[in-house]
Amino acid sequence: MSDIDIATVRRDTPGCHDVVHLNNAGSSLPPGVVVDTVLNYIQQESLIGGYELADQRVEDLAAVYRSVAGVIGASEDEIALMDSATRAWDMAFYSMRFSYGDRILTTTSEYAANFIAYLQVAKRTGARIEVVPDTPTGEIDVVALEAMIDDRVKLISINHMPTNGGLVNPAAEVGEIARRAGITYLLDACQSVGQMPIDVDEIGCDLLSATSRKFLRGPRGVGFLYVRDTMIEDLEPISLDLHAAMWVAADHYVVRRDAKRFETWESSPALRLGLGAACHYATKVGLDAIWNRIASLAAILRTGLAVVPGVTVHDKGRVQGGIVTFGVAGHSAREVKDALATRNINVSISSASSARIDMEARGLEEIVRASVHYFNTEAELDTAIGAVARM
Ligand SMILES: Cc1ncc(COP(=O)(O)O)c(C=O)c1O
């Protein structure tokens, strides 16, 4: 089933011996090399000084941009390192200028933070938010999307994979439409980076946001924004500091020409280096192999859960990734999560407020979210399915 040496990747992952971790869509278990990178750096800072160490490690810190860019087929100048995927996404979205009547096209499964931002901008400017219908299998309907395009559409903004299910949206088909129409395309790839091979040129997005801690298996508290080089100079960040811009005269500043114009001066070098180590590790394991194994493991989990009496699997999508969502008759999602936790099985809960348009349309208040990674084993899935069956 896999080109991945499972024994090796599990040996590299200290946490996987103590817990069945099916919360990789929340925050994955990092490989030891990521943990060591972060801890060693922080320890060094305490010994020689934060600024002094950063000076010594300038080259290593610059290399993080190359590592991140490599994971999505971008170039290093197109990457801004941020403290979360949401901050990355916000920097892109809020830097755009919307006016009354401008249209923002999005998808039913859009993430809450993004939708709240649309609502705020709509309230401030009179821009309109329009949700593109789904196909019968649940992904954004690209035919419907194309029919909605006109010269008032200012932005197409969707998620690649939603927070609340296994669905994979046809990001590249959406990119083709955006390109043909000359419309800016923002892709929330928070759940897909690290899970599958991504190439920003194949997808055709102008802006992409992602995090370190989920399928990339990096540390928490760091994420990144990709901005296509041809867009960088046209998109003046909503806020600037002395790293994003240079104060060149008492009454004048000049904004940087690379994607770092979206960053702030202060950051955590330790976390950034941890993200770099995580990108290296993912690349070494191989993103094609990672994707194949995640998709197979998730399919096994869905099939196994679906035959348990009382269990309903909720995932949509023609193509499905590593997020498996379900409910158990007679038990709340919280009860299922807590029961699994007593057996050292980690899952999480997706509630209606995290993806309200989709959840309300399906009449779902809360669902259990079990998300697999390549280091999980078939035996762990059996354990989880058995534990659900015994509820
Ligand atoms: C689809 C999606 N987008 C964005 C985010 C936000 O990521 P972060 O918490 O790093 O800001 C999440 C987090 O769960 C997510 O699932």
Percent of the chain with pLDDT over 90: 99
Q: Quick check: 155 and 161 in contact, CB under 8 A?
A: no
Given the CA of residue 223, which atom of ligand 1 is nearest to it? Answer: 10
187 C-alpha to ligand 1 centroid (Å): 12
With cut-offs at 50, 70 and 90, classify the pLDDT of residue 139: very high
Looking at residue 204, its pLDDT comes to 98
Q: Which pLDDT tens digit goes with each residue over 239-258?
A: 999 999 999 999 999 999 99
Looking at residue 4, its pLDDT comes to 97
353 C-alpha to ligand 1 centroid (Å): 13
Q: Which pLDDT tens digit goes with each residue over 326-362?
A: 999 999 999 999 999 999 999 999 999 999 999 999 9
Residues with CB under 6 A from ligand 1: 84-86, 111, 113, 159, 162-163, 188, 190-191, 211, 223
Looking at residue 160, its pLDDT comes to 98
53 C-alpha to ligand 1 centroid (Å): 31
Q: Quick check: 348 and 323 in contact, CB under 8 A?
A: no
With cut-offs at 50, 70 and 90, classify the pLDDT of residue 2: low
| Protein residue with least CA distance to atom 7, ligand 1 | 85
324 C-alpha to ligand 1 centroid (Å): 17
Looking at residue 8, its pLDDT comes to 98
| Protein residue with least CA distance to atom 8, ligand 1 | 85
With cut-offs at 50, 70 and 90, classify the pLDDT of residue 1: low
Average pLDDT over residues 179-185: 98
What Cα–Cα distance (Å) separates residue 258 from each residue in 65, 190, 228, 365? 12, 22, 10, 43
Among candidates 230, 227, 262, which has minimal Cα distance to 244?
A: 262
Q: Which pLDDT tens digit goes with each residue over 53-112?
A: 999 999 999 999 999 999 999 999 999 999 999 999 999 999 999 999 999 999 999 999
Given the CA of residue 160, which atom of ligand 1 is nearest to it? Answer: 1
Q: For residue 121, is pLDDT > 60?
A: yes
Return the best residue to mutate from 28, 163, 369 for the ligand 1 pocket (most ligand atoms within 8 A of CB). Answer: 163
Q: Quick check: 268 and 118 in contact, CB under 8 A?
A: no
Average pLDDT over residues 312-319: 98
Looking at residue 166, its pLDDT comes to 97
Cα-Cα-Cα-Cα torsion 295, 89, 352, 127, nearest 10 degrees, comes to: -130
The mean predicted confidence, pLDDT, of the chain is 98
Is the sign of the CA dihedral 56, 62, 66, 69 positive or negative? positive
Average pLDDT over residues 300-322: 98
369 C-alpha to ligand 1 centroid (Å): 14
Looking at residue 100, its pLDDT comes to 98
Average pLDDT over residues 36-52: 98
**How many CB atoms are closer than 10 A to CB 298?**
24
- φ, ψ for residue 124, nearest 5 deg: -75, -35
Q: Which pLDDT tens digit goes with each residue over 158-169?
A: 999 999 999 999
